[in-house]
């Protein structure tokens, strides 16, 4: 037996799990379409600068988790660790002259070198949405409402809680940054090595730390929500009012932050405790400075991403799995007829399983174990015997009317 295994942090997605993944992705896309979002894709690998510039040199993703490599011409590339940076780069490359707003939806594999855990692998899958070109809080309301509707359509709306915070605008963030650094200076000896590195360059990211010493140090830190200016306060009030009108419930979480400078105003996460420890299944925020940081025109944006693996664990087996109809030759003389009929029925839109070997009894047993809804047994005549695999009832049906009879088994 071969000892070859998938690399650590990856796994084979077998048919049963793949059905759940597909259901999650297709449900999300169907709801996104209702909001006018269109699907797009970016390359699985990009120039490493796409992510260094957007995620920050001090972020865990860049310093510890990114799969980066050089190609045969020495170009520095990276497997994409998230989707927003690639979409922003694609906007600059191809869509900056298009009428705004742009409503974009994406899905696909992402890659991060991190400790494997339930619902998160080193190769994992996300779907996400980006609304580009809308500066008003109504845009935030719509993308959050869309996310809530997707989770509801998956049947898990009652298993998640929307947590919401404001990051303010650049002006009040700068003032808050100064006060936060002043506060943290008194706790330098208690901060982790990573947090010390971020203290001068990216202090807000310290608020994201899960290290016990860091958590204790920031417990009494000033809150950004206490340092909002008039414009940021009005934006956040409009967002909350809009969510209430849209019927989206939320909880305020002043500790929810995004550490990079291009983030502003809205930060949000849908969290659940059904997967063990509380975990995030969908998260996003407003990033008005991102596209300009990447060399494009000043363009506002807001978006979110969701983890397919975690959502798949929450939904269970999706309903409506297609069950095949087995076509079974009654003997050697009807094998060609069975192949011809199978192709005819497939062209008619039926899911057909054509067994390859075995006598009638073995083929029926195999069809039953495979979950077939019905079996069509050919006996070399102008009629076939249709067996209902649930009840065992058998009916002789003329081949000319077979498709009409089989409609009940679609």
**Coil, strand, or helix at residue 174?**
helix
pLDDT-based confidence at residue 57 (cuts at 50, 70, 90)? low
pLDDT, mean of residues 332-350: 93
pLDDT-based confidence at residue 3 (cuts at 50, 70, 90)? confident
pLDDT in tens, 142-184: 999 999 999 999 999 999 999 999 999 988 888 888 899 999 9
Q: What is the DSSP letter of 386?
A: E
pLDDT in tens, 352-387: 999 888 888 999 999 999 899 999 999 877 899 999
| Alpha-carbon separation of residue 308 from 27, 115, 121, 153, 284 (angstroms) | 11, 18, 11, 14, 15
| Alpha-carbon separation of residue 50 from 80, 124, 184, 251 (angstroms) | 9, 20, 31, 33
The predicted structure's pLDDT at residue 32: 98
Tell me the C-alpha distance between 335 and 329, whole Å: 5
Are the CB atoms for 345 and 406 separated by under 8 Å? yes
- Class of 325-409 in CATH: alpha beta
Choices 3.30.930.10, 1.10.3720.10, 1.20.1260.10, 3.40.50.970: CATH for 15-169+229-315:
3.30.930.10
- Locate the domains of the chain by residue range: 15-169+229-315, 325-409
pLDDT-based confidence at residue 117 (cuts at 50, 70, 90)? low
pLDDT at 36 over 90: yes
pLDDT at 74 over 60: yes
pTM (predicted TM-score): 0.88
Give the burial class of 155: count Cβ atoms within 10 A of its Cβ; 0-12 exposed, 13-18 middle, 19 or more buried.
middle
Joined tokens for residue 210: 């899960």
């Amino acid at each position: 037996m071969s000892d070859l295994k998938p690399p650590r942090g990856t796994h084979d997605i077998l048919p049963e799990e793949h059905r759940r993944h597909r259901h999650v992705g297709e449900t999300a896309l169907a709801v996104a379409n209702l909001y006018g979002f269109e699907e797009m894709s970016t390359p699985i690998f990009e120039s490493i600068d796409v992510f260094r510039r957007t995620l920050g040199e001090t972020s865990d993703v860049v310093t510890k988790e990114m799969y980066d490599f050089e190609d045969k011409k020495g170009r520095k590339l990276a497997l994409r660790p998230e989707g927003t940076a690639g979409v922003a780069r694609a906007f600059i490359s191809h869509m900056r002259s298009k009428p705004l707003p742009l409503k974009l939806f994406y899905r696909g594999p992402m890659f991060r070198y991190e400790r494997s855990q339930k619902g998160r692998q080193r190769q994992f899958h996300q779907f996400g949405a980006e609304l580009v070109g809308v500066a008003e809080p109504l845009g935030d309301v719509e993308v959050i409402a869309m996310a809530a509707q997707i989770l509801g359509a998956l049947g898990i709306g009652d298993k998640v809680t929307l947590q919401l915070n404001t990051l303010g605008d650049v002006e009040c963030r700068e003032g808050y940054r100064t006060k936060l650094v002043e506060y943290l200076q008194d706790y330098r000896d208690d901060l982790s090595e990573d947090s010390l590195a971020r203290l001068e360059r990216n202090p807000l990211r310290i608020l994201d730390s899960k290290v016990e010493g860091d958590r204790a140090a920031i417990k009494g830190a000033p809150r950004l929500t206490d340092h909002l200016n008039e414009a940021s306060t009005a934006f956040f009030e409009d967002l909350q009012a809009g969510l209430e009108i849209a019927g989206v419930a939320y909880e305020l979480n002043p500790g929810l932050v995004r550490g990079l400078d291009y983030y502003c105003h809205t930060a949000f996460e849908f969290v659940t405790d059904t997967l063990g420890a509380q975990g995030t299944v969908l998260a996003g925020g407003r990033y008005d400075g991102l596209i300009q940081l990447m060399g494009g025109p000043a363009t506002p944006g807001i978006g979110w991403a969701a983890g397919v693996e975690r959502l798949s664990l929450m939904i269970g087996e999706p309903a409506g799995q297609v069950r095949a109809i087995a076509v079974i030759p009654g003997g050697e003389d009807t094998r060609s007829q069975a192949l011809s009929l199978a192709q005819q029925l497939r062209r008619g839109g039926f899911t057909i399983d054509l067994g390859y070997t075995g006598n009638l009894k073995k083929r029926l047993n195999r069809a039953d174990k495979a979950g077939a809804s019905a079996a069509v047994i050919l006996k070399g005549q102008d009629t076939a015997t249709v067996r209902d695999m649930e009840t065992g009832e058998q009916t002789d049906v003329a081949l000319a009317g077979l498709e009409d009879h089989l409609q009940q088994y679609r």
